Structure 1
Amino acid sequence: MLPTPKKYFLTAAAAEGESGLTAFDNALLAGGIGNINLLRVSSILPPGAQHDPELKIPPGSLVPTAYGYIVSKEPGQLISAAVGIGFSADTFGVIMEFSGLCGKEEAEKRILAMLEEAFRTRQMELVRTEVRAVEHVVKKIGCALAAVPLWY
């Protein structure tokens, strides 16, 4: 059985690269998570998890992470990515991810709408939210990424 993560942070970044993969890698580096191994997880923040924006994760660690990203090879195209966490008063939180062909403001709106729906569906009260988003105008090959790494 895997341990339950106790800490988290939100990050959003964008970068260019010579290929789609290096654009993604460069966005990870810009977001402070380029030297860890992301294990993509679905979107529940464990009860009691503490926000730690200065969290340092050892290089090479296997890190449960909820993330969304988009890569584009279309110069001039506007891309964005966003993550958000919805918090209940006394139990777990819900994480939502988004990426698309729009600006940061639209990405943030979509995240908030998804969080509201997730809480409504669960019949839980949404007491607050945290959102991080980024937009990027592609020069050659660009990536926008937003993530919530979870740690122990």
Structure 2
Amino acid sequence: MNHLPEKFFLTSGKGISEISLMNAFDIALVDSGIGQCNIVPVSSILPEGAEEIEPIPIEPGTITFTVLSRVQGTSGRISAGVGYALSNKEFGIVAEDNNETEEEVRMGIQRKLHEMARVRRIKLGKIKIVTESLSIPEGKFGCVLAALVYVF
């Protein structure tokens, strides 16, 4: 079985629950469009030739590989993001980050991608980032996520 994805998409979501952090995460997954998937977290390499596409529906129950950034809490502002860049070596790298603000997340992702490129001795092309942010209402549970979703 070939485990090299040919396509991928970026998505993000947020959730607020009165019940639990797990339910807030579930709501964020549904909001992002991947709530019907069995999520498997993977690390950070885009295979050669992988093409970014618009988010697509995925059949319920599908084992779905993602690079996932997730943060949850019970107060304050939370932000998550994921970003990628293609390299001069025909493959790409992916990084995730979470913090209080989207700007902090963007800066964190950029720093991580540049460090990843440095240790691999590659040059990066354009960086693309998706973020999600939420101010958690008092007495509620909140979750934000951002994901790069591989499509086979």
> Shorter chain as normaliser: what TM range?
over 0.9
The aligned residue for residue 21 of structure 1 is: 22
Q: Distance in 2 between matches of 1:143 and 1:3?
A: 30
Deviation at 1:2, TM superposition (A): 4.4
TM-score (norm 2): 0.93
The aligned residue for residue 81 of structure 1 is: 80
The one-character-per-residue Cα deviations of 1:47-106 (angstroms, maximum 9, x if unpaired) are 1111111422211100111101011012xx010000000111341101101123x11111
The one-character-per-residue Cα deviations of 1:14-71 (angstroms, maximum 9, x if unpaired) are 1101211110010011111111111110111111111111422211100111101011
Q: Distance in 2 between matches of 1:12 and 1:131?
A: 11
Pick one of 95, 113, 116 that aligns with 1:115. Answer: 113
Report 1:88-127 matches (<5 A).
88-100=87-99, 102-127=100-125
CA contact (8 A) 2:89 2:122 kept: no
% identical aligned pairs: 34
CA contact (8 A) 1:11 1:148 kept: yes
The aligned residue for residue 135 of structure 2 is: 137
Structure 1 gap segments, 5+ residues each: none
Residue identity matched to 1:145 = L
CA contact (8 A) 1:13 1:28 kept: yes
Q: Distance in 2 between matches of 1:39 and 1:54?
A: 17
Where is the strand percentage greater, Structure 1 or Structure 2?
2
Residue identity matched to 2:4 = T
CA contact (8 A) 1:8 1:50 kept: yes
CA RMSD of aligned residues (A): 1.2
**2:66 alignment partner, SS class:** strand
Q: Distance in 2 between matches of 1:10 and 1:66?
A: 10
**1:113 alignment partner, SS class:** helix
Q: Distance in 1 between matches of 2:11 and 2:55?
A: 11
The aligned residue for residue 44 of structure 2 is: 43
Structure 2 gap segments, 5+ residues each: none
Q: Distance in 2 between matches of 1:151 and 1:2?
A: 12
